[in-house]
Structure 1
Amino acid sequence: MNKLIKLVMALIVSLSIVSLPTGKAQAAGFPDVTSFKKEIDYLTEQKVISGFKDGTFRPSVKLTRAQAVVMIMRAIGMPETPVENPGFLDVSTTTFGYKEIAYAVSLGIINGKSPEQFDPAGNITRAEMATILVNAFEMGGLFPPGFKDVSTKSWAYPYISSLAANNITVGYDDQTFRPKNPIDRAQFSAFLARILNPEFQPSSPLVKDSLVDMTAEANIVDVVKNPDKPIIYFIDALSNSLVMLNLETYEEQFVDLKYPAEKLIIKNGKIFVTQLLQGRSSYNFIDMQKGLINVYDANDLTLLKEVNVNIDPYDIAVDDSETLIISSGSGQHTEVQTYNWKTSEELSSAFINDRKLIELSPTINKVYSVDTHHYTGKIESYTLLDGKITKDVMEPRFFGNELRGYIQFTPDGKYIFNGNGTIYTSSSQKSSDLSPLGQLATPFSTITFDLAGNGMFLADRSNEIIAYDYELLEPVYSMETYGKIDHLFYVEETGELYAFTKLKMNNSAIEYTALERIYLGE
């Protein structure tokens, strides 16, 4: 934000210097201005731009490429040392804006019309202006709705898309951007005012409360965040790979997996990934089952061990001593087992139905399970002691509301939530005391927490995120994403909320997986 403020202040100065008219600024407005009147009046009052001596603004006057580059380059600062001549035949050392053009080209902010021609006196197009603004202000993001006249294969597509994603432009009413049209003083004023003051950004149902940082053809089935770094790990079922993504640099690292994977968990700097060695079936009884758990170093995804297990792994948990707790996905009446991953030794087993999700309590001594393939209204608990698991004897509980196949502890261990919104206490060690405390206002299929900010965020396979006050467990506001939300995760290190979503870009028939960064706030 500080960098942006510096850029904005420098831009104000540069516009005062470069502005073509020399007339006095008129706070009362210009008689020839109808479109973008508020934006132009704002910039005039701020002495960013001024009108002509006859009292007009001449909003339709076009900007040249050299003038536009000078404005932007003076905003981001010029080097003290000489810049290498860019080699354009129509740009000499005496050409207006020579140094700025040379610097902008050296930074890749703008290119010439050809290797020999820059066309400094030519009108700058809307596409070129989008490129300069996005490059200079380091804007990112993509605009999923797109524009009818901007193909995803166009050189200008990523820049125009980023400009729209940041709500600097929404194009024309016919859903076109008209990239080849020259930009005039009024349009440039609108773009500039929206950068300087977000209050001028247009209100459009097409612009959501998020920024699409990246898209890919992928099917993300599970994701976890590194507890100490702004890094996430996820399984892409489409490529059957484990991916590590740095959310600061957007660097990715991939590991191909031999067998289909469904679940992963991080513990003590290690990533544990389930591997299916056989087809899942209700008739694969316990003596027929087998599976594999891959263990990776969380720093570089080095494979540490392949752990053969006597079970079809469905879900996994890991305690502080790195004991593996694995539920079975086959066999109907089957087992949950524990393992020492370093020796591959099976430590214990207990009865469980197949395809149950398991959740390890923050106190590390309780494991809770819930069905995923039908609603039973029942959560079962197990005791974990020294790596050994035993099923608790508890009264059958049908809590009135049908439970979903999703349970989640809060990071502080205070509550356990079911996906239908039911709240349970986890403070008692007696499993028979597991009873509902209340009901959230909304069900959910994914949830994440910002306990330092007293917040939690829920979504339920839609475009809507509900933000809750964690202390009161009440909804406070909602946010909308471009795609339907599969996974939410909050990054404490940067204070940002992210979502993996499914969406279609530019009305494409292909559904992509997108990483959306959410704008927090009411």
Structure 2
Amino acid sequence: MKKTVKTMMIVLSLFLIFPSVNTAQADSDLQESHPFYEEIMYLMDKGVVTGYPDGSIRPDRVVTRAEAAVMIGRVKDLDETKRETPFSDVPAGHYASGSIAEAAEAGYIIGYKDGTYRPNQPVSRGDMALIIQRVFDLNFIYFHDIKDVPDEAYYYDAITRLIAANIAIGYPDSTFRPKVEVTRAQFSAFLARALEPEFKNDASIADSYKRDKTKTYTYLQNGRGESVDRFVKVPGTDGGEEQFVWETQIGEERYPELEYETYEEFAIGYPYSDHNAHLVYPVELGKSFIAGYNPDAIYYTITGVNKTVETEYQTFTNAVEISTPDGGKYYMVEGYAVVKWIEADGTVYSELKSVE
């Protein structure tokens, strides 16, 4: 048994010591049909993910705490030179000692109360959330019920931040499954989503109403001309990491906005503030819902499905019509969010003009 463990450690060490495996060789066990193929190849091109000496990637192997430290170290360009670490079970000769020491010093990873790091222990989804939240200094929080993540759980805050940042989505049964172990491919997907808006599009439910984060949306605003929405990075709070948000520009004015979506609702809100539900799932005619946190409970109602609505951009035939308490209406379309908003007197408050 001890011999087997020792052999495994040697193989694992080789994997991390030889980062120069040609990506062309890495298709022996990584097929284009793999759900996270693009994310893994993206990180391979950046030198974050590397193959084994035999050219394999082993995407479905569980990622260890040592491997996670190496990957985030490469994302943050940390020094991988072997050195002493603050952990009793990670000696200077350990293949990942440099990455672990640097990541610990930066506050990205922490050990256990007994002074160990347990480098060979698998990373769980809950711990993955903590690591990603620290590495990218995620600022935004989307509070909602997660059945298997109680408010007092040590990873609750981190998970809400991953959901707000469009890095994770959870499961259709409203669980996150925080104790499930993360594979190399899954960890790669979470890192890729944190780094690149294109991959954030994948953190969405089926038939999502969220907009494509790689495109620019222009709207006609009544009395205000055009507004342009782009998914860009803006400065974080207190000098922290820049954060991706939807930024609306009207003339010289700019303000940030976020889209939130779970299997229960689609919402829009300002960063660091409350959000307002714009649609609830499943979409059903006649269903009413509370739009925000108003104590007087202002209800919106779904008054039409598969509606035809004309916009400057195009005519949609699959819009959902939502009526507001003041007599107005707005229309939402899968992949486009709100495409038109009409006030009670018939004035078009906003409509989609172009998508580029």
User: How does the TM-score come out when normalised to structure 1?
Assistant: 0.36
Which is helix-richer, 1 or 2?
2
Q: Which has the higher contact order (CA 8 A, sep 6+)?
A: 2
Q: Quick check: which has more Rg, 1 or 2?
A: 1
User: How does the TM-score come out when normalised to structure 2?
Assistant: 0.50
